[in-house]
Structure 1
Amino acid sequence: MSNPKHDKGEHYLTTPKAEPFLERLIFNNRAIILVLLTILTLFLGYNAAKIQPDASFERMIPLEHPYIVNMLEHRDDLENLGNFVRIAVESKDGDIFSPEYMETLKQITDEVFYLNGVDRSGLKSLWTSNVRWVEVTEQGFQGGTVIPDDYDGSRESLEQLRQNVLRSNEVGRLISDNFKSTIVYAPLYETDPETGEPLDYGTFSRQLEEKIREKYEAQNPNIDIHIVGFAKKVGDLIEGIGSIAWFAGITIVLTTLLLFWYSRSVSGTLVPVFTSIIAVFWQLGTLRLLGYGLDPYSVLVPFLVFAIGISHGVQIVNAMAVEAAKGFDAITAARLAFRALYIPGMLALISDAFGFLTLFFIEIDVIRDLAVAAGIGVAFVIITNLVLHVLIMSYIGISKGGVRHVQNHGEKQDRKWRLLSNFSHPSVAPISLLIAVIGLGLGLYYKQDLKVGDLDQGAPELRKDSRYNQDNAYIIDNYSTSADVMVVMVKTPVEQCTQYSVLRAMDSLQWELANTPGVQSTASLADVSKIVTKALNEGNWNWYAISRNQTIINASIRNAPSGLINTDCSLTPLLVFLEDHKAETLQTAVEVVEEFARENSNEEHTFLLAAGNAGVEAATNEVISKAKDMMLIFVYGVVSLLCFLTFRSIRAVLCIVIPLGLTSILCEAIMAVSGIGIKVATLPVIALGVGIGVDYGIYIYSKLEKYLLEGKTLQDAYFETLRSTGKAVVFTGVTLGIGVVTWIFSPIKFQADMGFLLFFMFLWNMIGAIWLLPALARFLLRPERMLEKARTAK
């Protein structure tokens, strides 16, 4: 019997189309291609090392949504745009009316004033001149700054401060309800006006910690600092990127150990890990060259690129081990593995890339950045897996231990695969389909409760016990004015914003909002007019109303606080303070305002949504809600089209796609049951899970079809499929699942959520390919017709 090592040339001569053009191009130029890829790796690796964390307020919001368009159009007329920090300075022992506390507050206010990125004109504190008190006396209006001009820390000046605080309108806003803390409110620029550079949220957050919290808590043990706001939240997320590096290391180590246990080959372990890491370097280097950074959401994409690289690398290792066990040398085994896998491999990876790129249709830049990063990463995996990996292995080959492992465990594994092949048996397949239908029904039932947006108070991207969420809880508990503010913009002709009809309409909307669940309070120019009109009439509550006399209205709003009226009186904001920013709260408030706007907007006044951090959240939720179904349609449409173009069969497409669809529905059901909403952080998981999950079905079906066309029965064909590629598919699903499940221990909550969801999708997509695909094939495929069609085509 001849040795295949010596029959290599005969094998190629007797096999039709044995050497595809792509195979000849790659293997006939091995050395040149490896040199070029080495140079590329050095260049892109150098750029990858220079990539920086990046975050931007505007990149995390849907800039094309009407709410955001309205907000940005009028941003110069508004104070509550959503990008600010609130620093609560708490006196742990006693209240704020002490010389030591007031001196510390003054120093903190000055420190914040000089931080890069702070809009100093909008800074508010008890020590800033824009925080005032006003009262009506027999002589008319009197007022001044809350801090007396002659304040010197004496008992008398502190008592005067107490009186001014009580006469101001800042209790519950800048001053806590129990007088134990006050807030320094600092609006932020998106772009530093001095340098023109985008605000570095990581640096800004570190300055808040080092120059404010750590410094003043150390100076005064009686002081606690609580900081909330978009910039601080993003800063904490960027800080958490450091922990992500640890999880990356854990994932690589676990994957390497499992891969060695699977292959028993040093080369079969280290080469796929090495080439997968190279794909990550290429991805990061390219992103840096294109001007991208790593924001807190796309920083997880390198994990997925590595996972996809390992997923396909395992197929190469498995195929080469099988060929090496037959006696072929390294280069022959590599060529045969490439020949068998390059079509399903390219199909799977192209499906992954297009699936990820469908995220680009979502009008939020941070998700589009994630789509670009994932698409580029998968494109590079095509090269590192099907070219670099195969060429390195063609020189090294599978080690003897790996070959012996395949030879010695063949019979034992055959019994296992023979058992699993019963999933395609005529008696078992209907049971599998019945279980799938029951799972589908349960998934559809539970996913009805799936919400769009945040489901918890504070920052859901961080854990409940994080410092940020503890700070947020303190402010919620001690201030009556919420940090979740939605701003309704009331637009009028120039110099008409104080007309009776405008104020009356605003007052009517406020009344409706006051009776809306989830709304804590409201504030507008109408409130100022009513309060001052009452004060001018000896505080008689009968005068607490909007006067029909325009002269009285003009007098009542003469000293209106800044931020409630713009310079040419063409826009006045109505502030809506919400109990939280949960999806249901936002949706309820928005529906009330939109209905009122439709019925009451006219030529005299137009109600526009929405500014403020809650307005931004509402717009984001709406975009995600509309985009979710569209994204899934695109993902499944692209995957189905590519599968159809490859296999030329609707039945094949159904066999591959139906298990994916079941996984998506069950994933959404699990999100609903687990209290995970669909938002910027979790929406991409659905597309990523489908994109990666389709790989299993493609590899399984391509082998199944091959054996069916050889004339085997369905169960025998599926048995041979499991023998050749089933082990790699099962190993890949389990390994990737174990790799991401470690994320649940991350301090970053959205990474923990992504790890939990991806763990489920990796495993369940694998189970779907192994268990449900053959059951579907039993009812959908016609092996005899496929064989006849193939013979006719020849």
Structure 2
Amino acid sequence: MSNPNHDRGDHYLTTPKAEPFLERLIFNNRAVILIGFLLLTVFLGYNAVKIQPDASFERMIPLEHPYVINMLDHRNDLENLGNFVRIAVETKTGDIFSAEYMETLKQITDEVFYLDGVDRSGLKTLWTSNVRWVEVTEQGFQGGTVIPDGYDGSPASLEQLRQNILRSNEVGRLVSDNFQSTIVYAPLYEKNPETGEPLDYATFSRQLEEKIRDKYKEQNPNIDIHIVGFAKKVGDLIEGIGSIAWFAGITILLTTLLLFWYSRSITGTLVPVFTSIVAVFLQLGALRLLGYGLDPYSVLVPFLVFAIGISHGVQIVNAMAVEAAKGFDAETAARLAFRALYIPGMLALVSDAFGFLTLFFIEIDVIRDLAIAAGLGVAFVIITNLVLHVLIMSYLGISKGGIRHVQNQGEKQDRKWRLMSYFAHPGVAPISLLIAVIGLGLGLYYKQGLKVGDLDQGAPELRADSRYNLDNAYIIDNYSTSADVLVVMVKTPEEQCTQYNVLRAMDSLQWELQNTPGVQSSVSLADVSKIVTKALNEGNWKWYEISRNQTIINASIREAPSGLINTNCSLTPVLVFLEDHKAETLETVVERVEVFAEANSDEDHTFLLAAGNAGVEAATNEVIANAKDMMLILVYSVVSLMCLVTFRSIRAVLCIVVPLGLTSVLCEAIMSVSGIGIKVATLPVIALGVGIGVDYGIYIYSKLEKYLLEGKTLQDAYFETLRSTGKAVIFTGITLGLGVVTWIFSPIKFQADMGFLLFFMFLWNMVGAIWLLPALARFLLRPDQMIAKARAAK
């Protein structure tokens, strides 16, 4: 007995107008295309497994920002203040004045000296010759290395060492305030000067652990080691990336189980998971061929590519299951699913890709790399989802268990969809809009507290109890000079940097800053001149001032440290040590310096911001603050334009985009309340959430419009939409949310933050599409007019 649905389907399939050219091209060449996919997957998969972690100091900073331009223009005139490690060697018993401790420090100094990547000329420790003491006696200046000549570890030489340290001005800098630890300061090369190869942060960090921390703590249980610096932080991040493989496995397993529970079909479960994994391998292989690696931020993009693949794969499985339940064979069901979904699916994926690529306009290379990785991943999802997936399913089909599941769900599920269709009811829709307006108001109120930058001490990318942040806390607590350094560069004509008016202006800036909240201390050439001038006058504090006599000034800075003056005396830095690098601290200090610089710069001297890690952080925060709103405008403009081109209706665009806008506002409010700042790690989440979230609205609206044009009322059209597409959207939102929520257990704090935010955005974007979109449609679409037009067309 013939199936009437089947007959209608056959007629539908053989109608030339109904069968798109793209469909004929794909399904008439199934075997050739699958062989092509096999070869491409093998080739790019081979490259994917060879992709390496990649991190670079310069790629994580805004190279086009004026602060960073100033820093890089004068990098040769400054000691390496951007990329360094500080190793604090602590004794747990007594103080540093013991032969055993000093011998251990000497061995560690030698070990660090030979590490690849260390700028040996700038290495500083009590054992290096560039750490000296100076004093004034009746005979004039005397000085020497801190380690006394003929040091032999005897009590007498240790006492001499103590006296030298007290005269060296290194207490609080290289020596802790309580004399229980000292610092090994090691500036680093970004690139090996001999080979040109970039510094391998993972290897360098591992060497610090194995050759310094583990080795010497094992040799001497009374010694503890604390290591901080950009290279160590990045190394710990790369180490934490190893745990991401576990989260990838958990996400794939959880997604597979939930997908089987949803479809009850082996093929409907394994094929979308398989094609999504193929998309990830294609993406990683292409990235390697293009010369990219995986930095600590873009390493999460493969998760998102997998999630996007599953999101669209569920739609295909759902559509095929519905068609198969009507009696169609595997190829016919695949054709019908492709025909129904290729336009909304392509629109959603292209919107995703363009949304991600808007991140490219942010002038920080790691975010640009993330944009390229995400955009490339979505491009591969388009072909794996709309081509590879449907072709494999055209051979395998939906298994009998999946078909029975669809057939058995009929009436029981219809009651649920009928209840949910009341979201489009004229009595319920106004209530939904009122709730949305209240939510928008609350979101706008709470998002006012959202900050740009870091909100905690230490490395916010890592957890507060991580090894790095515990080390950082130790150094902050025991040294006067923190790891957060802002460098103000004072530029003058050659041989003019020691003039009285220059030093006087620097001294005034320091006084201003030392009375600024968040500043711990500051150091400049002016300090050296004042200290030496006082010493030349019998140590009388009345002379602790910058002399107006240029001859005295010249004498006072004759032995100035190299880091405080360049070779031709055209640049001298003011080093400002901050209590932390929180956004509020940086904003306050930078604002004070900018106001001072504008009022006090002239043709004799110019104050330039900024070098040091705090200067880089301040520049990064400014770029992100300026880029955030621009990025959102671009993302929403691209998504709106794509929807407008497809649906040819501004009302349709509003139905799809308004729920996304509410989600963005609520996400920023949650970030504010949760103490998560907008920074390099979290800024992309906002764009990624919008890009992925638009998929839900596009699928829902495309089906809703189809049923409205068939002449159904809005509520009936929405009921049919929920039956066909809504259940897949709900399942996808829940599954993706559960997949990323496991990230909150990651040792990498920014991955935990991203997991939390993406969990919210996946779920709330789904809720917005299911709950708010039909309410908006009730007021914006004028369904009665659409029905009238549809009936008139008949």
Number of the residue aligned with 1:611: 611
Aligned-residue offset at 1:79: 1.3
**Alignment map for 1:122-133 (pairs within 5 Å):** 122-133=122-133
Q: Distance in 2 between matches of 1:723 and 1:638?
A: 30
Letter in 2 for 1:515: N
- Secondary structure of the residue aligned to 2:564 is coil
Q: Distance in 1 between matches of 2:247 and 2:509?
A: 50
Aligned-residue offset at 1:785: 2.7
- Secondary structure of the residue aligned to 2:51 is coil
Q: Is the CA contact 1:80–1:611 (under 8 Å) kept in the aligned structure 2?
A: no
Aligned-residue offset at 1:480: 1.2
Number of the residue aligned with 2:265: 265
Q: Distance in 2 between matches of 1:137 and 1:10?
A: 106
Cα deviation, 1:346-398, whole Å, max 9, x if unaligned, reads 00000000000000000000000000000000000000000000000000000
**Alignment map for 1:37-436 (pairs within 5 Å):** 37-436=37-436
- Secondary structure of the residue aligned to 1:317 is helix
Q: Distance in 2 between matches of 1:739 and 1:702?
A: 27
Q: Distance in 1 between matches of 2:198 and 2:650?
A: 50
- Secondary structure of the residue aligned to 1:296 is coil
Q: Distance in 1 between matches of 2:8 and 2:510?
A: 84
Aligned-residue offset at 1:482: 1.1
**Alignment map for 1:521-540 (pairs within 5 Å):** 521-540=521-540
Letter in 1 for 2:606: T
Aligned-residue offset at 1:10: 4.1
Number of the residue aligned with 1:669: 669
Q: Distance in 2 between matches of 1:233 and 1:13?
A: 59
Q: Distance in 1 between matches of 2:3 and 2:159?
A: 102
Cα deviation, 1:49-106, whole Å, max 9, x if unaligned, reads 1000000000000000000000000001111432100000000111100001000000
Q: Is the CA contact 2:172–2:480 (under 8 Å) kept in the aligned structure 1?
A: yes
- Secondary structure of the residue aligned to 2:243 is helix
Cα deviation, 1:192-249, whole Å, max 9, x if unaligned, reads 1122100000000000000000000001111000000000000000001110000000
Q: Is the CA contact 1:227–1:471 (under 8 Å) kept in the aligned structure 2?
A: yes
Number of the residue aligned with 1:654: 654
**4+ residue runs of structure 1 moved beyond 6 angstroms?**
791-794
- Secondary structure of the residue aligned to 1:224 is strand
Q: Distance in 1 between matches of 2:146 and 2:60?
A: 37
Aligned-residue offset at 1:561: 1.0
Q: Distance in 1 between matches of 2:15 and 2:779?
A: 33
Q: Distance in 1 between matches of 2:744 and 2:10?
A: 54
TM-score, normalised by the number of residues in structure 2: 0.99
Number of the residue aligned with 2:469: 469
Letter in 2 for 1:296: P
Letter in 2 for 1:79: E
Q: Distance in 1 between matches of 2:488 and 2:517?
A: 17
Aligned-residue offset at 1:448: 0.4
Aligned-residue offset at 1:15: 4.5
Structure 2, unmatched stretches of 5+, are: none
Aligned-residue offset at 1:11: 1.6
Number of the residue aligned with 1:692: 692
Number of the residue aligned with 2:556: 556
Q: Is the CA contact 1:4–1:327 (under 8 Å) kept in the aligned structure 2?
A: no
Q: Is the CA contact 2:487–2:611 (under 8 Å) kept in the aligned structure 1?
A: yes
Letter in 2 for 1:487: V
Identity of aligned residues (%): 89
Matched, 1:753 2:753: yes
- Secondary structure of the residue aligned to 1:522 is strand
Number of the residue aligned with 2:438: 438
- Secondary structure of the residue aligned to 2:205 is helix
Aligned-residue offset at 1:789: 5.1
Q: Is the CA contact 2:713–2:784 (under 8 Å) kept in the aligned structure 1?
A: no
Q: Is the CA contact 1:80–1:613 (under 8 Å) kept in the aligned structure 2?
A: no
TM-score, normalised by the number of residues in structure 1: 0.99
Aligned-residue offset at 1:418: 0.3
Q: Distance in 2 between matches of 1:666 and 1:450?
A: 12
Number of the residue aligned with 1:633: 633
Q: Distance in 2 between matches of 1:438 and 1:175?
A: 57
Structure 1, unmatched stretches of 5+, are: none
Q: Is the CA contact 1:80–1:487 (under 8 Å) kept in the aligned structure 2?
A: no
Letter in 1 for 2:40: L
- Secondary structure of the residue aligned to 1:278 is helix
Figure out how many residues of one structure are paired with residues of the other and give that number: 794
Q: Distance in 2 between matches of 1:735 and 1:633?
A: 29
Cα deviation, 1:615-674, whole Å, max 9, x if unaligned, reads 000000000000000000000000000000000000000000000000000000000000
Cα deviation, 1:552-593, whole Å, max 9, x if unaligned, reads 000000000120000000000000110000000001000000
Number of the residue aligned with 1:568: 568
Q: Is the CA contact 1:4–1:328 (under 8 Å) kept in the aligned structure 2?
A: no
Number of the residue aligned with 2:644: 644
Q: Distance in 2 between matches of 1:274 and 1:20?
A: 27
Q: Distance in 1 between matches of 2:793 and 2:462?
A: 58
Kindly report the root-mean-square deviation, in angstroms, between the aligned alpha carbons of the 2 structures.
1.2
Q: Distance in 2 between matches of 1:791 and 1:290?
A: 54
Q: Distance in 2 between matches of 1:591 and 1:7?
A: 75
Letter in 1 for 2:277: I
Q: Is the CA contact 2:6–2:327 (under 8 Å) kept in the aligned structure 1?
A: no
- Secondary structure of the residue aligned to 2:118 is coil
Number of the residue aligned with 2:27: 27
Letter in 2 for 1:196: G
